[in-house]
Chains A and B, each alone.
Chain A
Amino acid sequence: MAIESEVVVVGGGLAGAFSALAAAREGADVRLVSYKQSTLAQASGLVDVLGYAPGGDGPVVDPYDAIPDLPEDHPYATVGVDGVRAGMALFDEVAGRYRGDHTDRNAMLPTHGGTVKPTARYPSGAAAGVASDERDALLVGFDALVDFDAPHAADHLRNAGVPFDVRGVSITFPGDLNADAKVTRYAKLLDADAEVPVGGSTRTARAALAATVEPHLDGAERVGFPAVLGDDDPAAVRASLESALGVPVFEVPMGPPSLPGLRLEDDLYAALDEAGVSMETGNPVVDYEDEERVTRVVVDRNGAKIPFAADQFVLATGGLVGKGIDSDREGVREPIFDCHVPHADDRYEWFDHEAFGDHSFARFGVPTDETLRPLDAGGDVEFENLRAAGSVLGGADFAAEKSGSGVSIATGRAAGVSAAEAAR
């Protein structure tokens, strides 16, 4: 006998989490089956809704104004402005650490490369860093942490025209971390506030860090650090630094491994737990069984094939990065259900010749009907009880648009809600 649920969600990234959460909140009995870590570990932790219109116009101030103009095959067009709003409302309910829900407008956030980018929600740890805030800033980098070069980022921000004075300084992180220490080592040291050697004696890590930064303050009204300020308890780390320095402290979002992304993932998994979603992680779905509709998905657990049966299924396996979309020299496909993925036959048409050109691979994914059910090449529904959400959907270049999380949250919620309704 297969394990039975009303709704099975395949994929545990943002889209899968929001599908499962939404379906569970509608009262369905939900199981989430996911393989590897999601792309949240790679993402900055900022939650974008729409920063640029397709074609590059922007930065967009109000994403909700721009959504109605998106092309028909865009996932936002499928769920509509209301669907996006509903998704973000659910996000705001469960992501207590986030800011930005007080307005529809985007915020411009500094990035570790020294650009600014438009985003809809930002971790509270990054809040004091918003670029429309006119307070003068000092950016602090650590000389062995190569992903954030503070003097470079500061100069870059200045040339991006930010409305405040910004300086950057590179310091040696107190303690004797080795040159290739991972970001989690910095975070753990600050969480534990362990004694570190300073001069001839020792000091607690936070105090030692603040003391190293202090001489560089020189009138700065806020201080930014790379996003390594604590893993378990970032607010406490920030609070210690703020009280020692006497000014607000913020984190600058970084690339992988991204602590803000991982913190968000922790919060989502806790919310899923609370909502009663059962979880099965660490093994891939490799196959499915059907009689016109999908009856089961099959998980490969060390060679054993474990079936999971349900009334409704949600496909939230991600895009090219999450491996929800796969390709070889001959073509592009969705590997579990073999849903149709439109693409040019000639693989030299999948990309543009400019690094940041209009890449068609960035929009690879499954097309759907208005209820997010994947469509085959003839435009018919693939399976009556299968919905798709997140980056596995085609039609959005989230990287260019800055729409990654928003698309996953909005379509995830919508797919979860309709799966739960259909299961009734």
Chain B
Amino acid sequence: MASTPHIAVVGGGSTGTGVARDLAMRGFDVTLVEQGNLTHGTTGRMHGLLHSGGRYAVSDQASATECIEENRVLRDIASHCVELTGGLFVKRPEDSEEYFQEKLAGCEACGIPAEVVSGAEARAMEPHLATDVEKAISVPDGAVDPFRLVVANAASAVEHGARVETHSKVTDLLVEDGEVVGLEVDHSSGPGVRVHGTEGGRETIRADHVVNATGAWAGRIGDMAGLDIEVRPSKGVMTIMNVRQVDTVINRCRPKGDADIVVPHETTAILGTTDEEVSDPEDYPEEQWEVDMMIETLSELIPMLEEARTIRSFWGVRPLYEPPDVGSEDPTDITRDFFLLDHDERDGLPGMTSIVGGKFTTYRMMAEDIADHVCDRFGVDADCRTADVPLPGSEDFTVLRDYMDEFGLQSPIGRRSVERLGSRAEEVLDVDGPNPTICGCEAVTRAEVQDAIESSGSDLNAVRIRTRASMGNCQGGFCAHRLAGELQDSYDEPTVRAAWDELLQERWKGQRHALWGQQLSQAMLNYALHATTQNRDRDPADSAEAVDFAAFDDGSGADTGTGPATDAGVATDGGRDGD
């Protein structure tokens, strides 16, 4: 080909950013567009399990084998996003012995290292496990931070020349002469990083090929060109606890079921999940019974969950796909495998390929398939390197050395920052001036926040997913205004205010599902901090009506009258400080 082919990738989840990175590394011109923030879709609303494959070892061995392969790859290339927690499949007395044996055999068949441990051994590892857990299978499950991983993929794509546009929605596909030739895009605030209040605009992006990596939304993109893509979105709930009751992934060893897994994630533990087909990936009911079921059912494995504090719940939709001829009734029967839909071959419409289904854990493999396919189409001969070249932040694991001393950070704040930043720690934390903590719950310092602002524009939710600021116990109660203050250096006040409001609203959304006990107290405290102390709920700057300041007490007369007000009191302090 004369010039470098230009590939437009739609979707900023794990799949889309993985595809963008792979294609950019293979020398393509790449533009990625995402309607929200990176991870806006399912990727930002998943469980955080780096599958060992154990969960599919009986029902879906092809997926299980892919999982263990990719599990190994990600430990290597994304070490700063992964925590090697290990996992257990635990058996209660009422769970079937036969299934336990099948699980064990399945792991073996798929090459998943698995070992049986006794109930006592399992409790020695995880003291809060129920006393009647009989035994368990230990597997190399891990925890993964989807935000960090996706941001690192996008950063790597950009390093390799890609353009990444967030808050840019594809509104139509350009089809000319029976071929997809590009996208119509609506930028909510103009190209580049998002800035609240900035005039948006439309852009036509012409491309030699379009990759549709929109997950549960893939059908909607298909509709734009009259294609039928039968995605079957299926929702699942996840409930976040305020502390880690377990440090190992705990799975229930029984055939598919709701509420059968707890994943430790950063400072929290996340309970999950359900599997219910929904018609609209953006609008589905989030229900109380789902949250209650997580707590009640998983208490059978970890009894202390019954009384523990949850900080929020959230839902995600799986982008399940099954070929039209299968027709599963129950979404749990739909395969977790992924499918590459070549619309040229399948529908006679060249210029676009869709990728649907799959798992977060296998995103890189999915991306490799797509990139191979694109290379094929354009006759490009370039090897995939994404399994070998570490992501930015994971380049050199020896960096986890004494940054705490070097940057004057106190443990555990320094430790947590360095864990999050990986090999970027030096670049980010080496700043002039003091580096105070902005988010106490998650130990996030100013330097990290400022670094995130550089790549997030005025979007505090984008800062949040990059840093974890406001994601801990208090859910932003104590740090939302501090984050707003940090934006002030780069943006004007109305922009900062809009970003601040958006963060408060986003934080509220998930907390609504945790409003009892301590978290209801916390919610009232946050409400009082924001509404009473800061008057943010009736912020005069937001009001159309100007305050008539002259009507209020202007302080004159306060110190006069019967003598200085200092003496007016019977003053317990006797006007001690004349105050």
Interface residues of A (CB under 8 A from B): 39, 42-44, 48, 51-52, 56, 58-59, 61, 92-103, 105-108, 111-118, 123-125, 127-128, 130-134, 143-149, 151-152, 155-156, 158-163, 172, 178-180, 232-236, 239, 253-256, 266-268, 270-271, 273-274, 319-321, 323, 326-329, 346-348, 350-351, 353-356, 359, 361-362, 398-400, 402, 404
Known: A99-B558, A326-B517. A42 touches B537 (CB 8 A): no
Cβ contact of A130, chosen from B434, B507, B554, cutoff 8 A = B554
The closest CB in chain B to the CB of A405 belongs to B532
Contact between A99 and B555, CB atoms less than 8 A apart:
yes
Instruction: Verify if B2 is at the interface (C-beta below 8 Å from A).
Output: no
Complex CA distance for A158 and B540, rounded to whole angstroms: 10
Contact between A355 and B508, CB atoms less than 8 A apart:
yes
Mask: chain B, 143-183; 1 = CB below 8 Å from A; 0 = not: 00000000000000000000000000000000000000000
Contact between A132 and B488, CB atoms less than 8 A apart:
no
Instruction: Verify if B356 is at the interface (C-beta below 8 Å from A).
Output: no
Instruction: Verify if B124 is at the interface (C-beta below 8 Å from A).
Output: no
Contact between B541 and A132, CB atoms less than 8 A apart:
no
Cβ contact of A255, chosen from B292, B478, B507, cutoff 8 A = B478
Complex CA distance for A398 and B539, rounded to whole angstroms: 16
Complex CA distance for A101 and B559, rounded to whole angstroms: 10
Residues of A within 8 A of B559 (CB): 99, 127
Residues of B within 8 A of A353 (CB): 512
Contact between B570 and A108, CB atoms less than 8 A apart:
no
Q: List 20 A-B contacts (CB under 8 A).
A: A96-B567, A101-B568, A102-B557, A107-B554, A113-B536, A115-B540, A124-B565, A125-B579, A131-B549, A133-B555, A155-B492, A163-B549, A235-B579, A236-B577, A255-B534, A256-B529, A268-B572, A327-B520, A328-B516, A361-B515
Cβ contact of B541, chosen from A115, A149, A271, cutoff 8 A = A115
Contact between B565 and A58, CB atoms less than 8 A apart:
no
Instruction: Verify if B199 is at the interface (C-beta below 8 Å from A).
Output: no
Cβ contact of B554, chosen from A92, A115, A132, cutoff 8 A = A132
Known: A147-B482, A155-B493, A329-B292. A319 touches B524 (CB 8 A): yes
Contact between A398 and B549, CB atoms less than 8 A apart:
no
Chain A contact residues: over half helix, strand or loop, or mixed?
loop
Residues of B within 8 A of A239 (CB): 578
Contact between A44 and B549, CB atoms less than 8 A apart:
no
Cβ contact of B552, chosen from A61, A172, A326, cutoff 8 A = A61
Complex CA distance for A100 and B478, rounded to whole angstroms: 29
Residues of A within 8 A of B508 (CB): 354-355
Mask: chain B, 529-573; 1 = CB below 8 Å from A; 0 = not: 111111111111100001111111111111111000111111111
Residues of B within 8 A of A172 (CB): 433-434
Residues of B within 8 A of A274 (CB): 570, 572
Complex CA distance for A146 and B449, rounded to whole angstroms: 12
Contact between B547 and A161, CB atoms less than 8 A apart:
yes
Known: A52-B538, A132-B549. A127 touches B532 (CB 8 A): no
Residues of B within 8 A of A270 (CB): 572-573
Cβ contact of B531, chosen from A39, A162, A356, cutoff 8 A = A356
Complex CA distance for A145 and B433, rounded to whole angstroms: 12
Complex CA distance for A132 and B436, rounded to whole angstroms: 34
Interface residues of B (CB under 8 A from A): 288, 292, 295, 408, 410, 413, 433-438, 446, 478, 481-482, 484-486, 488, 492-494, 496-497, 504-505, 507-508, 512, 515-517, 520-521, 523-525, 527-541, 546-561, 565-573, 575, 577-579
Contact between B523 and A361, CB atoms less than 8 A apart:
yes
A58, A146, A178, A319: most-surrounded residue (chain B CB, <10 A): A146
Closest Cβ–Cβ distance, residue A243 to chain B (whole Å) = 14
Contact between B446 and A146, CB atoms less than 8 A apart:
yes
Question: Nearest 8 A-B pairs (CB), nearest first?
Answer: A96-B569, A149-B485, A96-B571, A270-B572, A117-B535, A155-B493, A132-B554, A356-B537
Complex CA distance for A400 and B539, rounded to whole angstroms: 11
Contact between B515 and A103, CB atoms less than 8 A apart:
no
Residues of B within 8 A of A400 (CB): 531, 537-538
Known: A61-B551, A160-B539, A233-B577. A253 touches B533 (CB 8 A): yes
Residues of B within 8 A of A161 (CB): 540-541, 546-547, 549
Contact between A59 and B566, CB atoms less than 8 A apart:
no
Contact between B515 and A115, CB atoms less than 8 A apart:
no
Contact between A94 and B570, CB atoms less than 8 A apart:
yes
Cβ contact of B436, chosen from A144, A233, A326, A347, cutoff 8 A = A144
Known: A152-B488, A267-B573. A321 touches B521 (CB 8 A): yes
Residues of A within 8 A of B553 (CB): 100, 102-103, 105-107, 130, 132
